[in-house]
A and B are shown apart, each in its own frame.
Chain A
């Protein structure tokens, strides 16, 4: 990873450019992030970032201590990133939006929307059985393996279960707009998760 920004998903809209092209766009608000430490190495630059706003009582004492030592307001998460050496990032300051440029291609990492306990059709794109002509196999998964031989169900067999609410990365999204004054980053297309989720915008 060479560049990173942490933002909050605000929602989707559309952007019209000067030539009349219309793009579906996701708006991210870049806020509540602080660089706690910058470690310069020979090849790369490691930064420790605090991000995410929560109530103060929900933060553990050791975490609070990290922020208190730097006289900063405590934030929810602390994470380390390996970045490009040339980037201008300073300690005790928020992650700068200016590391990215318009028209740059980036990846977005976040948590997908939770779908609860889902059947095989939603979770694994299985086909359903016939709905009529006496059929009773409407949404059932069907056969899950052989008989006496092998005498077991193989590991990794696709079945119903919890779907969504796990890490997801969308690659190669274009940066449509950077609004420094308002702290907004507008990306082309959709990103994982619901509104209000914290996502990482990264460039490898």
Chain B
């Protein structure tokens, strides 16, 4: 039995290349219709809540406008959302940052703790990018080596090699 609801929802999904998490500072560009005209509005703030479910994926973004907290929820797979950009990566220990609602003043903006952390965060993306590139290169190189190996070795040996590390993992 195919799950038709899942199939329908997957059909509606857009390709999202941006990876974001709770605690990140994100800018979302959304199309807003004003009468006959359309314009793009940019909304920037911290991600306080995410719900992942195929096409129903939403992101709640909190922002402080004139010392009043504003939370807006976006349907990520909506055609109205033009662009999502992660400006800053945050380090949080919670999946829902509702505690920000009780905070006042500067504290409310500094969710990622001290300034030092923010500095670290600003450096992190660059590092990650380089790491990703490296890992990709490794992955590309690795299969080539694997392809060479099975030609010479019988196929029976390969499963054995796979089994042994699993056992060790369970013991550990």
* Residues of A near any B CB (own CB < 8 A): 10-16, 18-20, 22, 27, 29, 179, 182, 184, 186
Residues of the B chain whose Cβ atoms lie less than 8 Å from the Cβ of A14:
55-56
Decide if B79 is an interface residue (CB 8 Å cutoff): yes
* Residues of B near any A CB (own CB < 8 A): 4-5, 7-9, 12, 31, 55-56, 75, 77-80
Q: A14-B56, A16-B55 are in contact. Are A186 and B8 (CB under 8 A)?
A: yes
Q: A20 CA to B32 CA in the complex, in Å?
A: 10
Contact assessment for B12 and A10 in the assembled complex, using a CB-CB cutoff below 8 Å: no
Residues of the A chain whose Cβ atoms lie less than 8 Å from the Cβ of B12:
15-16
Q: A18 CA to B79 CA in the complex, in Å?
A: 6
Contact assessment for B5 and A20 in the assembled complex, using a CB-CB cutoff below 8 Å: no
Q: In angstroms, how far is the closest chain B Cβ from the Cβ of A183?
A: 9
Q: Which of A10, A19, A20, A184 has the most CB of B within 10 A?
A: A20
Q: A187 CA to B38 CA in the complex, in Å?
A: 30
Q: A16 CA to B4 CA in the complex, in Å?
A: 16
Residues of the A chain whose Cβ atoms lie less than 8 Å from the Cβ of B7:
182
A29: nearest residue on chain B (CB-CB)? B4
Contact assessment for A20 and B80 in the assembled complex, using a CB-CB cutoff below 8 Å: yes
A10: nearest residue on chain B (CB-CB)? B4
Q: Which of A12, A18, A184 has the most CB of B within 10 A?
A: A184
Q: A14-B55, A16-B55 are in contact. Are A184 and B78 (CB under 8 A)?
A: no
Q: In angstroms, how far is the closest chain B Cβ from the Cβ of A122?
A: 29
